[in-house]
Amino acid sequence: MSKLLIVGTVAFDAIETPFGKTDKILGGAATYISLSASNFGIESGIVSVVGGDFPQEYLDMLNDRNIDTTGIEIIKDGKTFFWSGKYHNDMNSRDTLITELNVLEHFNPVVPENFKDAEIVMLGNLHPGVQMSVINQMTSKPKLIVLDTMDFWMNIALEDLKAVIKKIDIITINDEEARQLSGEYSLVNAAKKIHEMGPKYVVIKKGEHGALLFSEGNMFYAPALPLAEVFDPTGAGDTFAGGFTGYLAKTGNISFENMKNAVIYGSNLASFCVEKFGTERMVNLTQQEIKNRLEQFKKLTQFDIELS
Amino acid sequence: MSKLLIVGTVAFDAIETPFGKTDKILGGAATYISLSASNFGIESGIVSVVGGDFPQEYLDMLNDRNIDTTGIEIIKDGKTFFWSGKYHNDMNSRDTLITELNVLEHFNPVVPENFKDAEIVMLGNLHPGVQMSVINQMTSKPKLIVLDTMDFWMNIALEDLKAVIKKIDIITINDEEARQLSGEYSLVNAAKKIHEMGPKYVVIKKGEHGALLFSEGNMFYAPALPLAEVFDPTGAGDTFAGGFTGYLAKTGNISFENMKNAVIYGSNLASFCVEKFGTERMVNLTQQEIKNRLEQFKKLTQFDIELS
């Protein structure tokens, strides 16, 4: 079992989908990552920042799941990061309606002492400078650093992003972002280019089309579970990252073969996340449900061809 | 081993991709389907029509692969169907530049006597009236009728198409067409609706994202092999259909479990088709290459999670 350090936003979201809309609800990359990873019975901790308006009950809920929140700084007279977005009918694209950075604007991450030796570090989507600061605070070299990012940082902080990409082991990124970062259309070539930028492993997330894991000469494809209804895609990518790193933390095995399993668990958990608004499904999820869904993933992908 | 009857176009194509362009080369749905299926050492026959301009050497090439071409009517003073298209840079969309129906305009399919008892019938993309005529000529009920179609027929001959869809066992269709035909955005719901229209099995082709096989309550996902370069996507869907039906004809087993394997073989063969222009790669393909690619598909998709 490895300790998992998670860095990312803890936020309020207001979401509108064709199925309805929410008021301000709990959101943020670190929230989704940690909830997802908590299904593996590991020790994890969040580094983040919230305002005085952030309810204690949310922190309690995370603590109840063995998620250490001492690294979530509370700025009493500040307001929590707020994002509001509206999904289009196809659920594959969305418009951001409101982004209030609030306390995130001057976020200076501080890694708690007891997580400076975490074996696995999950850097959620944030300014690459913040991600780098966390890496620099680690007192012992992590076994694995996983980074998530997005096109926004490529557009406004590409050099900072490249500097942190050099330091990490795995990048998770969506297909369009992989193309933008690499300048290659083919995902095989994009992964190769990104690999040359530093990370030994590249995970390309393709939303409803699943996720691809690349390393030198190896490729693995985990489909997304085809669903009758995607209720709210918010947090699916972070939930994937949480399942991925949570499983690796639990098993402590970072071989390519085991990383395949981690990708499957990431897809497994993400398939739950989208079934309800926000974190609703993730906070009401049982081990048995995850197990059953794993069986569905096996049925969906496994075949047995006898070569004659 | 089952006999495979293939109905579809035999044509000339002129193709332009970002990698180059061709003069008139051998094309057509039945051509790709039969070449792909011929890799399974089965007995197959084509029902189609060509003009006096169609080279005997192409027919010889098909015959050499145990593909019966007596059902290809030759209209001496007619011209062969000609299609010309240009692919966009992303290779996922194309413009049709020229469509000359020629002999196809009044195509009246005639199934040769020795194929009227074929156990498997593959109805390539053609006017649904032509597809229906072939079904009606079968003297014994086929074990399996597979139909391919496209949005064009939904737009101009929907009632004819619905009538033939009622008579078949499996439909292969791409994702956008499945949405159009069913009026459902989710592919799970689309498959359910199409299933209610007749076919017991629905195969939804998602191009570079692979293919989904649906039957009552069962789902299987075969990814497309991620490729560094897609040279020419022409014929990939037909090659998929040929691999799918060819494998089923060889094994004679139409259980869902075996259909999974058929989908994998369809994807396997399609992954070769796109590596060169037109049929070039398909006519230079060895059993060993297919076997090796099957290993690649296994590596790409198979995982082994021990549940604790």
Residue of A nearest to B290 (CA): A307
> How many CB atoms sit inside 10 A of residue A26's CB?
24
Per-residue pLDDT, averaged over B295-308, amounts to 89
What is the maximal distance between C-alpha atoms in chain A? 71
**In terms of C-beta distances under 8 Å and separation of at least 24 residues, what long-range contacts does B134-140 make, across chains too?**
B134/B5, B134/B7, B134/B47, B134/B109, B135/B164, B135/B167, B135/B168, B137/B109, B137/B110, B137/B111, B138/B111, B140/B116
- The DSSP secondary-structure symbol of B172 reads E
* pTM across the whole model: 0.94
> How many CB atoms sit inside 10 A of residue B99's CB?
12
CB B235 within 8 A of CB B242: no
Instruction: Retrieve residue B10's tokens.
Output: 């035999």
Place of tokens 């139909």: B147
Domains and CATH numbers, chain A: 4-301 (3.40.1190.20)
Indicate left, alpha or beta for A102 from its phi (over 0: left) and psi (-120 to 50: alpha): left
Question: Chain B partners of A302 at a C-beta cutoff of 8 Å?
Answer: 301-303
Residue of A nearest to B296 (CA): A219
CB B222 within 8 A of CB B266: yes
B278 min Cα distance to partner chain A (Å): 20
Write the secondary structure of A246-264 as one string of H (helix), E (strand) and C (coil): HHHHHHCCCCHHHHHHHHH
Residues 80-99 of B with CB under 8 A from A: 89-90
Residue B223 touches partner A, C-beta closer than 8 Å: yes
Residue B264 touches partner A, C-beta closer than 8 Å: yes
A305 min Cα distance to partner chain B (Å): 6
Contact state of B209 with A209 under an 8 Å Cβ cutoff = yes
Residue of A nearest to B265 (CA): A305
In this prediction, residue B206 carries a pLDDT of 94
In this prediction, residue A7 carries a pLDDT of 98
Residue A195 touches partner B, C-beta closer than 8 Å: no
Contact state of A188 with B227 under an 8 Å Cβ cutoff = yes
What number of C-beta contacts closer than 8 Å exist between A and B?
94
Q: Cα-flanking dihedrals φ and ψ of residue B134, to 5°? A: -65, -45
Concatenate the DSSP letters of all residues of B213-256 into one string: EEETTEEEEEPPPP-S-----TTHHHHHHHHHHHHHHHH---SH
Place of tokens 């919230």: A50
User: d(Cα B18, Cα B23) in Å, to the nearest integer?
Assistant: 15
Instruction: Retrieve residue B171's tokens.
Output: 């439909």
Q: Cα-flanking dihedrals φ and ψ of residue A99, to 5°? A: -130, 110
Report CA-CA distances (Å) from B34 to B102, B122, B279: 22, 10, 11
pLDDT single digits (tens) B16-63: 998 889 999 999 999 999 999 999 999 999 999 999 999 999 999 999
In this prediction, residue A111 carries a pLDDT of 98
A199 min Cα distance to partner chain B (Å): 19
Per-residue pLDDT, averaged over B126-132, amounts to 97
Q: Of A188, A260, A303, which has the smallest distance from its Cβ to B260's Cβ?
A: A303
In this prediction, residue B307 carries a pLDDT of 67
Per-residue pLDDT, averaged over B164-185, amounts to 96
CB A73 within 8 A of CB A277: no
CB B13 within 8 A of CB B83: yes
Question: Chain A partners of B212 at a C-beta cutoff of 8 Å?
Answer: 226
In this prediction, residue B182 carries a pLDDT of 97
pLDDT-derived band of residue B193, with 50, 70 and 90 as boundaries?
Answer: very high
**10-residue stretch averages of pLDDT, chain A, 308 residues long:** 96 93 96 98 98 98 98 98 91 88 96 98 97 98 97 96 98 96 95 97 95 94 93 95 98 95 98 96 97 96 83
Question: Chain B partners of A261 at a C-beta cutoff of 8 Å?
Answer: 303-305
Per-residue pLDDT, averaged over B204-233, amounts to 94
Mean residue pLDDT of chain B comes to 96
Residue of A nearest to B288 (CA): A307
Place of tokens 């004659």: A308
Question: Chain B partners of A307 at a C-beta cutoff of 8 Å?
Answer: 291, 294
CB B25 within 8 A of CB B15: yes
